[in-house]
Amino acid sequence: MAPEVDRSIEVLRRTPDALRALLGGQSDFWARGNYGDATFSPFDVVAHLVGAEQTNWVPRVRILLQHGEAVPFPTFDRYAVVEASRDRPLSELLDTFAALRAQSLDDLYALNLTPADLVRRGTHPALGGVSLGQLLAAWTVHDLGHTHQVAKAMAYQYRDAVGPFRQYLSILPSE
């Protein structure tokens, strides 16, 4: 396995546990609050990650390895699973995400990717040519960004309660 893949997996395998630690058993106050119009709540983030596991990351790896740049990746609807999951319990979404991620990582390991594989290219529907290494790096940063987004949405719920401390809390908007 290429070292870059192992480094990505270090983060990717921890995301389900990190989200469960932050969100497991939380009330809707924490789980369903967002930080403004057109932003995801923590619940929405988990639903989005479920959708990404189902249709985005490993499926795109497979398309890239099988077809190179000849077949573009399908467009990813970032909101489809979010809307379809509105009535599901968060605990169920967390379990679904953990199971899907475990399967994704098993599938990724089974590919036994080499450094030569990481420079192979595919076609993103909006970005054009991308390498497999870039796709894996984006998957990793995507997880980190959404983990941050969960913390930001949770912190936002106390934006007024912190009073004058707000000026020291960079996760909150200044006003």
What is the Cα–Cα distance from 150 to 169, expressed in whole angstroms?
16
CATH number assigned to the domain comprising residue 25: 1.20.120.450
Total of domains in the chain: 1
What does the pLDDT read at residue 77? 87
Domain extent for 66? 3-168
Domain assignment present for residue 149? The answer is yes
Domain assignment present for residue 174? The answer is no
Domain assignment present for residue 175? The answer is no
Domain assignment present for residue 111? The answer is yes
What does the pLDDT read at residue 52? 95
β-strand pairing of 128-131 with 121-124: antiparallel
What is the Cα–Cα distance from 50 to 96, expressed in whole angstroms?
7
What is the Cα–Cα distance from 169 to 128, expressed in whole angstroms?
38
- 10-residue mean pLDDT profile of the chain (175 residues): values are 86 98 97 94 96 95 97 90 88 97 97 95 97 97 97 97 96 86
User: Taking a C-beta distance cutoff of 8 angstroms, is the pair 154, 40 a contact?
Assistant: no
What does the pLDDT read at residue 44? 96
What does the pLDDT read at residue 1? 65
